[in-house]
Amino acid sequence: MKPASDERTPDGGAHPTLPPPHEQLLTLRSAERHDAVVVAAAGAIDGLTAPRLAAAIDAAYDGLGERVLIVDLAEIDFLGSAGLRVLRDAASEAVTRRGLDQLRVVVDQSRPVIRPIEIVGFDQFLALFHTVEDALTAGEPS
């Protein structure tokens, strides 16, 4: 029996593809501003990539000073339970150890990020915004 053309076989067929490197699954950028540190993520936050997001947030906290931290998840296309745990831990850190009111999180306006946050009730303790600019001006006098 001949294998289908899309099957990979050990007898001369193409080698099975390996999963992409972590950097292709999640891209992280940190931007230092005079009033904030913005950690922006793009891609998927799952069990494999969540530790990288946690490390980026921890590094941002270390250099925060009097500025606010904004976690920009507007370009995330998957937010799994491991990513939700990172947000929960970062929010706890913001309030208990950093003296901030809430962790400011920029979310998409569709389902990949906002829906999991709402399902587990994290919208009750995260400050959610649709743009970084909205998150920056939150709490400023009108």
Give the whole-angstrom CA distance, residue 56 versus residue 76.
15
24 in any annotated domain: no
21 in any annotated domain: no
The whole domain housing 44 covers 37-135
The low-confidence residues of the chain, meaning pLDDT below 50, are 1-3, 5-9, 141-142
The reported pLDDT for the residue numbered 13 is: 53
Work out how many domains the chain is built from and give that number.
1
124 in any annotated domain: yes
99 in any annotated domain: yes
Residue type at 39 in one-letter notation = V
The reported pLDDT for the residue numbered 134 is: 94
118 in any annotated domain: yes
105 in any annotated domain: yes
Give the whole-angstrom CA distance, residue 103 versus residue 126.
6
> pLDDT digit string (tens) for 115-129?
999 999 999 999 999
The reported pLDDT for the residue numbered 96 is: 81
The reported pLDDT for the residue numbered 141 is: 45
| CATH number of the domain enclosing 59 | 3.30.750.24
Cα 75 off chain centre by: 9
The reported pLDDT for the residue numbered 126 is: 93
69 in any annotated domain: yes
The reported pLDDT for the residue numbered 111 is: 80
Give the whole-angstrom CA distance, residue 22 versus residue 85.
19
8 in any annotated domain: no
Q: Would you state the structure tokens that stand for residue 128, as one six-digit string?
A: 């959610």
